[in-house]
A and B are shown apart, each in its own frame.
Chain A
């Protein structure tokens, strides 16, 4: 009843007066899309709606009075009468065969999936059962389709995963082989260099007897070039370590100014040979938290380049500035300088300075590429300012990171 709208109430009353209540209820049942059947205690169908005729393919006349088991697949009929008996023991409204795949059988013998809900209906003391039967063929189809799609998707995903796994395994293996190759290559190249450098050194010490001036110079050449060869091998190893991401920094806290002095001492001999003045204008006296050996390598690479590209009598110096967050280290020279067009290329792998820089091509062309990588591994940045004929200034900026507190 609608208490808010007296109009609707009036109309309802009118409708009741118009039609017979029972016939309206019948229409309600007939309009239901599910088959609705009433079955008496003997199992005979006593009532059915239109949907029941349609779903099972029988006419009303063919079904009335017939045992309901005719609508059950032949194979299940025996069990069905037992289920009916047990339902009589607990007559409650409930779905039938929960969790089971129920099927109905049409007149033509074909089977179809159903969902059945049962309700007791006591008529004059005897238990009738109302069965509401839903044909779920469509739903099953959709479900099957969804399941199929899901299975296909899962299978594709599994296949893709397997592919990816196989590929990453391949890559891993290729990487491992490359690393093994590098390791053994490095070993094989260093082993003879060990004796070449060692015996050359022994000879220059002249402990086994004096060398004349020429012999001494020759041995010096062997020693110098053997050391150069060792540097090249180290560079090739370094770049491959960098490229495979295996180069890890070993940060420590160290005295930066001491580190600068060490590098300058190492480069002093080269500079003196070319009568180049080497100046230390570093002002940063604090500790740096970085990979000490790699920082030395960065400075050494830049300083030896500066000496290499500065003519006799020139000047090479290192200076620094810091603002508490960033340490800027500049390596400057009065050398040949770098044409602007080349400045963006010099940090590329294998790029070598052209003839314009009037220096012999030597080295791997990896020095600056490695230097840049090492700076960037420290979270830093490298740049160059240069004017041909006036020298170059390579600036390295290191973030002033601190060692993590030891917990």
Chain B
């Protein structure tokens, strides 16, 4: 959990970083230079604001610092200086300017790790140190990724623009993958007890909401936003007082944010009206089936299995088949589900949930020794402390 002033600081920086970056790219005509200026301004804000308080107009404050630093950096270039001197704040950037920023950061010619780091820095205003901490990697590694990516953007001629209509679909898939990766990273590491670390799920939701605002007619963007919001709506019930994971089945559903669940469900319905189903919309619909059930027993399992069938048709994957098998257990019983799971042997042998799921099904069918062996195998395969602890509990109780 982050303490309020820290969270407030993060929120303010996040809500202005992208606009600032977009304005500066517009101004100096160069992505890499603009990115440096934004980063400088944010570093300055993080130094001054905790002591002096957040200014009345944080956007103007950041812009003034960026502009001053820009003048320092670019003193030798008269063309840049003229440009910087000419433009007065507030210069409201075109709404699609932040869209260009996002598509540039997530260009497929950049490696995924660089797409992630760039998006966090440029669009969400994270510092290199914050990114390093969130991903548990050295700061120098993040710095190198950023430097290489910026060098490639200018060297290889990666354009600063929203892709043309015929490539938009494929490029959007790339952007959504970056946001979803961020969300998962943040979601799985919560409960780790890092008080001052940046909550990546906040950044992921912010990005998805921003993208939905900028591209309201893209149903997959709405689907991803709904998916993120549905997961977060249930966050309060995910861990108990000892930071142990509480399985969905045993969660206290009264602490879920039912208003947020209803909002997200409406978002899914509006997206579905476009009649362009996709993996994020389907995953969101599956999570909605769980979130809308009053009790675990009330879950519409048949609907869940149908949605998994559609998802498998659009995006076949062994992990999705595993999840479908879990739902199948409540439709046709544990024996049928176990047959499905066993059919995945060889594809998912290194995945802890495969073995944990097998353990549950085996236990349902009365094969306690084989269940234990599967749980023990699962335990060796996850590094996540909360998941390890859940598996250990199960081994102790059964």
Instruction: Say if A and B assemble together.
Output: no
B residues adjacent to A (C-beta < 8 A)? none
Instruction: List residues of chain A with CB under 8 Å of any chain B CB.
Output: none
